Amino acid sequence: MTKKANLGYREGIVSIIVNLFLFLLKYYAGVASFSLALVADAWHTLSDSLTSLMVILGIKLSSRKPDKEHPFGHGRWEQISALIIAMVLVLVGIEFVKDAFHKLTLHETATFGWLAYAVTLASIFSKEALAQYAFYIARQTGNAAVKADGWHHRSDALSSILVLVGLLLNPYFWWIDSVLGILVSCMLFYAAYGILMEAVNKILGEQPSEDLIARVGEIVKIEMGETAYPHHFHIHDYGDHKEFTFHVKVLGTQTVYEAHNKATGVEKKIKSELQLEATIHIEPLNV
């Protein structure tokens, strides 16, 4: 198993253990307090455990080696896992919105004790710590599913802050618990949207950054000369394996053999310096 896979597994296992413990604490405190927001926050935490399982499954599937049917490997399972995480967040959020409106209709309120305060504070610090850990692993590995898991942890920490506000304001506003339940759901929807867009962009193919285009332009000028003009850049992300394609316009007086040799030099340099598998399409200038 690669270092990237090991780090992802570690993040997923730590997340599952912490989240299951927090779920039990939050759920007990929420039921004891008749608090929709706290129970919703508990299920939000449990959904973190489910998404962490998806992270582990995604890493397992994406780490499989290329085969005849999948010559670029299975790395896009990372994006598929991120999409599943986003859908889980949306479904959980919808359920909380429905429960919140039902509670508002019945004019139900919550009764909080010291346990609710203690559990909510513990959740805020624990979930932000898990978020920072997941973001650290994502930076080390570039794993989209681990990053999505980190945002799920962050959204849970923020939702716990909202719950804490509700605990403090509940004596003055009977409806605050239900309203905060809706706000927690909105945070889930926002997190899901961000995760969804990032995963979809990687699956569809991304426009390379300006810095990458500039660096490739420098390499092309060095290897192919000042009269070579790169354009039409695309990146296709397969997890550990990234395909980078672009066109280069060159003087039409060059032979196919000459242009091919120069393009091969560019591809090798891009692979060694930028860790991208480049494919170049040669075009004659002024065509």
pLDDT at res. 197: 82
What is the tally of structural domains in the chain?
2
* Final residue belonging to a domain, choices 149, 178, 204: 204
Residue 255 falls in which region: left (phi positive, over 0), alpha (psi -120 to 50) or beta: beta
User: Does 228 lie in the same domain as 164?
Assistant: no
Query: Is the per-residue pLDDT at 71 higher than 60?
Result: no
Half-sphere exposure of 285 (CA within 13 A, CB side): 11
Q: Is 243 helix (H, G, I), strand (E, B) or coil?
A: strand
Please give the torsion angle defined by the CA atoms of residues 27, 32, 35 and 36, in that order, rounded to the nearest 10 degrees: 40
Query: Is the per-residue pLDDT at 215 higher than 80?
Result: yes
User: Does 99 lie in the same domain as 181?
Assistant: yes
Distance from C-alpha of 49 to C-alpha of 40, rounded to nearest angstrom: 15
pLDDT at res. 148: 75
Banded pLDDT at 14 (limits 50, 70, 90): confident
Query: Alpha-carbon Rg of the chain, whole angstroms?
Result: 25
Q: Domain with 155 in it: what CATH number?
A: 1.20.1510.10
pLDDT at res. 89: 77
User: Does 30 lie in the same domain as 69?
Assistant: yes
User: Does 61 lie in the same domain as 180?
Assistant: yes
Give the least confident one: 42-46, 74-78, 127-131. 74-78
Query: Is the per-residue pLDDT at 272 higher than 80?
Result: yes
User: Does 193 lie in the same domain as 219?
Assistant: no
Q: Domain of 279?
A: 210-284
Mean pLDDT, rounded, for 84-93: 79
Query: Is the per-residue pLDDT at 259 higher than 60?
Result: yes
Q: Domain with 227 in it: what CATH number?
A: 3.30.70.1350
| Long-range contacts of 169-174, Cβ-Cβ distance < 8 Å, separation of 24 or more | 170/109, 170/110, 170/112, 174/107, 174/109
User: Does 229 lie in the same domain as 188?
Assistant: no
Query: Is the per-residue pLDDT at 64 higher than 80?
Result: no
User: Does 140 lie in the same domain as 121?
Assistant: yes
- Whole-model pTM above 0.85? no
User: Does 103 lie in the same domain as 17?
Assistant: yes
User: Does 262 lie in the same domain as 229?
Assistant: yes
* Final residue belonging to a domain, choices 204, 221, 245: 204
**More confidently predicted of 155 and 231:** 231
pLDDT at res. 67: 62
* Final residue belonging to a domain, choices 183, 204, 225: 204
User: Does 227 lie in the same domain as 142?
Assistant: no
pLDDT tens for residues 169-196?
877 787 877 787 788 778 778 877 877 8
User: Does 189 lie in the same domain as 227?
Assistant: no
User: Does 197 lie in the same domain as 231?
Assistant: no
Banded pLDDT at 38 (limits 50, 70, 90): confident
Mean pLDDT, rounded, for 24-49: 77
Q: Which H or E run contains 79?
A: helix 77-105
Chain-wide mean pLDDT for the chain? Answer: 78
pLDDT at res. 43: 76
**More confidently predicted of 197 and 201:** 197
Mean pLDDT, rounded, for 270-281: 83
